[in-house]
Each structure stands twice: as C-alpha cells, then as structure tokens.
Amino acid sequence: MSFNITVQPSGRAFTANPEEAVLAAAIRQGVGLPYGCKDGACGSCKCKKLEGEVVHGEHQSKALSAEEAAQGFILTCCAVPQTDLVLESRQVTDESAFPIKKMPVRVAALEKKSADVMQLRLQLPATETFRYHAGQYIEFILRDGARRAYSMANAPHTQAEAPGVELHIRHMPGGKFTDHVFGAMKEKDILRVEGPFGSFYLREDSDKPIVLLASGTGFAPIKALIEQLQFKGSTRAVTLYWGGRRPQDLYLHDWVLARTAEMPQLRYVPVVSDAQPEDGWSGRTGFVHQAVLDDFADLSGHQVYACGAPIVVESARTAYSAQRGLPAEEFYADAFTSEADKHAAA
C-alpha cells in the first residue's frame, strides 16, 4: 500500500511506497522538496507536517531537535510515512526537476587552485545530455557503494562551448575520496556519478536583491550562480561574501574581480578569518556570515544563497531570519556535511 503526500501551498502531490522516506519518493517523482545531505545531518529538508504520521529514521538532534519534532516538524530525508501526509514547504514550485542519471565520466583535467583545492573537469559521455540547474550537485559512486557529493561550478550554458562539468574539491586529509583526488587520481580515469541533485539553485522568477554567501569550496555552486546571472543578463543587485581562513583560500579571487568589472550589479566582499602578518591582508576580517550582519540592517526583501561549511550555513540561517527579518523560505543553502560532521554530532 502506498501513501499520498501533498505539499502546501503549491498543492503538488506524490506517493511513497511502504518503508520509503518522503524525500526519496519526492526525488523519484521529480518533486522539488528542499534537501542537502539526504542523511539526517544538515536540517535542510526540515518542513512542517500539517497532517498525518511519520516514523523518523536515525538523524542528528542539531538537524531536528526534540522540541521541533514535538511541534510537528519532520526531516523528509529520514521520515517514513505511516499514513497519508500533508506537508508545508514554500520552496516547492511547479517547476519540473531534470531527470537524474547514472553515468560514467572521464577525468578531463586536474588543476590545483591552492594547496588544498583541486579543480576537476569531468567529461560526460557524448551520448548523454546532462541537464541541471546552476547550483546543483552530482554524487560520485565509489567502489564500495559510498557516495560523495560535489557541486557543479559551471553554469549549464557553458557546456555549449566546453562540454563537461567543473568541480572544486577541498582536500580533507584522511578522507576516502579526497585523499584519492589529491593522490592517485589522474587524467583519463573513469568514475561513476549520479545527478543532478539538490534544491540549491537560482530562483529566476524573483527580482529580489541577492546575497551570495560562500565559505571555502562553497564558492563552487556560487560561481555557477554568478555565471548564470551574467548569461541571463540579470540586473538584480548581487553581493557576494566569500570567506576563507587565509587569503589563499579564496582560490578564484581574480576570477571574481574580473566578473565585477563586467557586471556592474555585482559587489564582492572577500572576508578572511585568520589573516597572518605575512599575508599582507588589508580587506575585511572575521567570520563571513557576520560580515553580512554587519552590512545589512534588514534582509526582509532579499534572497540569500549560502554554501559551504555547515557551521557557516547554520549560523547564517539562524541569524538572518531571527535578527534581520529574512523570510525562512528565501534562504537557500547547501551545507557541505562530511563524515566528520555526521560522526561528530552522532
């Protein structure tokens, strides 16, 4: 027996098979519920249950506290329906999702952009048309079945001139996949990926001014958003805040400066949290999410797109809505949760 799930206020409906989590069923049927880690760790898929019953699989209390659960909030990635459901999720639109494909890809180029950031270009099969929204991510399927998510750093239209996708991968020493990227991986290697995934993409039906917030390689999908805005000739005001510990962590600083010269509506605020005297840094310092709070007294008429370290994304989500009046549904984010985050909080 399957269960019917309706999402308000859009009224979009889909069904879940027995034992199937709400999010898995939504992705399978092309319904764009918001999500990030798909693993109970980031809280991006949290939404209000208006009617019905679910059972939650394992998840972290920072993603969904007992108090939130008591108020009727659920994590769709690990909530399994026990009855028909009505959910509230204002980010769900009528827009149809692109088909999710599994495909082999070839490593076309590996280029170190800083001591711990690799730019990886993947060549897609010539027979496949891979469609995605700027901001979405793909997952590598590793030999043991484990998966690792990386955001596309190029907007879809760039495939016309140079087919393939660009990723920015930060080395996490001891990490199953990134140790390989920074060790044995070489050009022409074949890997398996699946995608596109994710609800982090540009909402082009809005004309609200935009704050882009990136920490470290959280810049990857933000770069795709900037390319998309430029390609579409958008005139929306955009302010990019990009944070790193040291100036060299802003590994495409010059690329951004070149875009600001071409896009009069784009303002760039680089922020460094741990500048050393030898860096000669004279720009903004401190935490990148705090720089936005310092500059904006009111975010009630904005959209915010935030990506990167989970702590930055969560601090921004909480503070912008509580202290600056940002509507919760105008905060779009991908928190780059890793195994370390999942186990630290487990």
Burial class (CB in 10 A: 0-12, 13-18, 19+), 287: middle
Task: Give first-to-last CA distance, the chain, whole Å.
Answer: 33
Torsions phi, psi of 284, nearest 5? -70, 150
Among 143-151, 203-211, 243-251, 271-279, the segment contacting ligand FAD (CB under 6 A): 143-151
**Do 3 and 85 touch, CB atoms closer than 8 A?**
yes
Collapsed DSSP state (helix, strand, coil) of residue 5: strand
Tell me which of ligand FES, ligand FAD, none is bound by residue 122, counting a contact when its beta carbon lies within the kind-specific cut-off of 5 to 8 angstroms: none
**Do 289 and 315 touch, CB atoms closer than 8 A?**
yes
- The three-point CA angle 286-117-149 to 5° equals 100
The candidate with the shortest Cα–Cα distance to 291, out of 339, 257, 242, 246, is 242
CB of 214 to ligand FAD, least distance (A): 10
302 makes contact with ligand FAD (CB under 6 A)? no
Pairing of strands 85-88, 3-8: parallel
Query: d(Cα 257, Cα 216) in Å, to the nearest integer?
Result: 17
150 makes contact with ligand FAD (CB under 6 A)? yes
Query: d(Cα 129, Cα 285) in Å, to the nearest integer?
Result: 43
Interaction mask 206-245, ligand FAD, x per CB under 6 A: -----------x--x-------------------------
Interaction mask 63-102, ligand FES, x per CB under 6 A: x-----------x-x-------------------------
> Which one of residues 5, 21, 42, 306 is an interface residue with ligand FES (CB under 6 A)?
42
**Do 105 and 168 touch, CB atoms closer than 8 A?**
no
> Which one of residues 36, 156, 216, 310 is an interface residue with ligand FES (CB under 6 A)?
36
32 makes contact with ligand FES (CB under 6 A)? no
Tell me which of ligand FES, ligand FAD, none is bound by residue 336, counting a contact when its beta carbon lies within the kind-specific cut-off of 5 to 8 angstroms: ligand FAD
Tell me which of ligand FES, ligand FAD, none is bound by residue 75, counting a contact when its beta carbon lies within the kind-specific cut-off of 5 to 8 angstroms: ligand FES
Please report, as ranges, the residues that interact with ligand FAD according to CB under 6 A: 36-37, 137, 148-151, 167-170, 172-178, 198, 217, 220, 334, 336-340, 343
Please report, as ranges, the residues that interact with ligand FES according to CB under 6 A: 35-38, 40-45, 63, 75, 77
